[in-house]
């Protein structure tokens, strides 16, 4: 969610509970995120949320450029004041990090052994001068990326795709109606689409290529992995992910106010298909 409107957004997303952030932490975030935007020259800064570890909590922010679909800069803090840049990990490391299970420790330098790696692969890594271990910092960036790809969402029409391929905020977007806001088909995954090419011509008949260029939530697997709830007498619609517990999205109908935030342990609910 946008850092500039963080206090109000937290109230909407957390039902008035502030999403578990103390007033001190919210005040520190308000000041430090503004400095992040200035120092790194970001077009916008989003507060992504928190990953709770055993001994500490990671507070995550994302820096965006003019093209909102371009890779984002991700930063973490342990105190909401000092921020460190997370560097993208190699594909192999990311795949190994996604297989790790259990709670985060809250220590960026903590090391995990590779999961599901054969003795031959471990020997090859050692010969290449690479130890078969993963730092928690690498696991953190892999988990953030995995959550963004799976459940990072935006309302339909909030972004437009230009003829040159870049994605910009839609200045004409005035929000969804309450009726539309209660439908899963009104929300899109804000990541590279994978299901559009499978749509029939009939399904694409009423689509606008400038706004309907992302995958909608209505065909997410497993079905039923989202809950949609109007709250505050219909003044706000809240979506919660059951696949990644802790991910909450909010939208105020007929306004430009929307966003998502994550407050969880960084663990995927692998049992969800058996719970539905």
Split into its structural domains, the chain has a count of 3
The pLDDT score that the predictor gives to residue 61 is 95
Range of the domain at 15: 3-86
Residue 144 lies inside a defined structural domain of this protein = no
The pLDDT score that the predictor gives to residue 204 is 58
Using the 8-state DSSP alphabet, how is residue 131 labeled?
A: -
Residue 275 lies inside a defined structural domain of this protein = no
Task: Please state, for a pLDDT cut of 70, what percent of the chain lies above it.
Answer: 84
Cα torsion 135, 137, 140, 146 to 10°: value is: -70
Residue 148 lies inside a defined structural domain of this protein = no
Cβ atoms of 142 and 194 within 8 Å: the answer is no
Cβ atoms of 155 and 183 within 8 Å: the answer is no
205 and 134 share a domain? no
CA-CA distance, 166 to 181, in Å (whole number)? 26
User: Residue 1, SS3?
Assistant: coil
Residue 188 lies inside a defined structural domain of this protein = yes
Cα torsion 1, 91, 114, 121 to 10°: value is: 180
CA-CA distance, 18 to 23, in Å (whole number)? 9
The pLDDT score that the predictor gives to residue 207 is 65
Looking at the predicted structure, is the pLDDT value of residue 131 above 80?
no
In SS3 terms, 184-211 reads as HHHEEECCCCCCHHHCCCCCCCCCCCCC
63 and 134 share a domain? no
Q: What is the pTM of this model?
A: 0.87
254: enclosing H helix or E strand: none
40 and 126 share a domain? no
Q: DSSP letters of 68-85?
A: TTSPPEEEEESSSSS-EE
Q: What φ, ψ does residue 228 adopt, rounded to 5°?
A: -120, 120
173 and 198 share a domain? yes
What average pLDDT score do residues 159-184 get?
91
The pLDDT score that the predictor gives to residue 202 is 56
126 and 223 share a domain? no
pLDDT band at 193 (very low <50, low <70, confident <90, very high): confident
Q: What is the pLDDT of residues 246-267, one digit of tens each?
A: 999 999 999 999 999 999 999 9
Q: What is the pLDDT of residues 57-111, one digit of tens each?
A: 999 999 999 888 888 999 999 999 999 999 988 888 888 888 888 899 999 989 8
User: Residue 102, SS3?
Assistant: coil
* Residue from 156, 177, 186 nearest 234 by CA: 177
* Residue from 266, 269, 267, 264 nearest 20 by CA: 264
Looking at the predicted structure, is the pLDDT value of residue 201 above 60?
no
121 and 220 share a domain? no
98 and 51 share a domain? no
Cβ atoms of 57 and 51 within 8 Å: the answer is yes
The more confidently predicted of residues 237 and 219 is 237
17 and 95 share a domain? no
Helical segments of 49-135, H only: 91-99, 119-127
Locus of tokens 């992910």: 241
Q: What is the pLDDT of residues 12-63, one digit of tens each?
A: 776 544 456 888 888 899 899 999 999 999 999 999 999 999 999 999 999 9
Q: Look over the chain and give the mean of its residue pLDDT values, rounded to a whole number.
A: 85
Give ∠ CA 196-1-228 in degrees, rounded to 5.
60
Residue 96 lies inside a defined structural domain of this protein = yes
pLDDT band at 120 (very low <50, low <70, confident <90, very high): low
């Amino acid at each position: 969610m946008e850092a500039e409107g963080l206090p109000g957004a937290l109230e909407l997303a957390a039902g008035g509970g502030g999403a578990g952030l103390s007033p001190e932490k919210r005040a520190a975030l308000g000041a430090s995120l503004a400095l992040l935007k200035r120092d790194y020259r970001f077009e916008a800064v989003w507060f992504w949320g928190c990953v709770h570890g055993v001994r500490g909590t990671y507070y995550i922010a994302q820096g965006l450029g003019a093209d909102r679909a371009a890779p984002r800069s991700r930063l973490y803090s342990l105190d909401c004041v000092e921020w460190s840049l997370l560097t993208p990990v190699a594909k192999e490391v990311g795949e190994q990090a996604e297989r790790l299970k259990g709670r985060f420790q809250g220590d960026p330098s903590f090391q995990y052994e590779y999961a599901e790696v054969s003795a031959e692969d471990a020997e090859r890594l050692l010969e290449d001068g690479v130890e078969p271990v993963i730092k928690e910092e690498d696991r953190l960036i892999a988990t953030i990326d995995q959550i963004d790809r799976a459940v990072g969402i935006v309302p339909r029409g909030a972004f437009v795709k230009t003829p040159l391929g870049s994605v910009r905020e839609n200045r004409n977007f005035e929000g969804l109606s309450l009726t539309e806001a209660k439908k899963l088909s009104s929300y899109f995954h804000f990541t590279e689409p994978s299901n559009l090419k499978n749509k029939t011509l009939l399904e694409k008949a009423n689509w606008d290529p400038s706004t309907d260029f992302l995958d909608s939530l209505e065909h997410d697997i497993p079905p039923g992995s989202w809950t949609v709830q109007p709250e505050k007498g219909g003044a706000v619609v809240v979506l919660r992910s059951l696949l990644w517990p802790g991910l909450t999205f909010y939208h105020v109908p007929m306004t430009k106010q929307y966003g998502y935030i994550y407050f969880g342990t960084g663990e995927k609910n692998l049992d969800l298909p058996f719970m539905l």
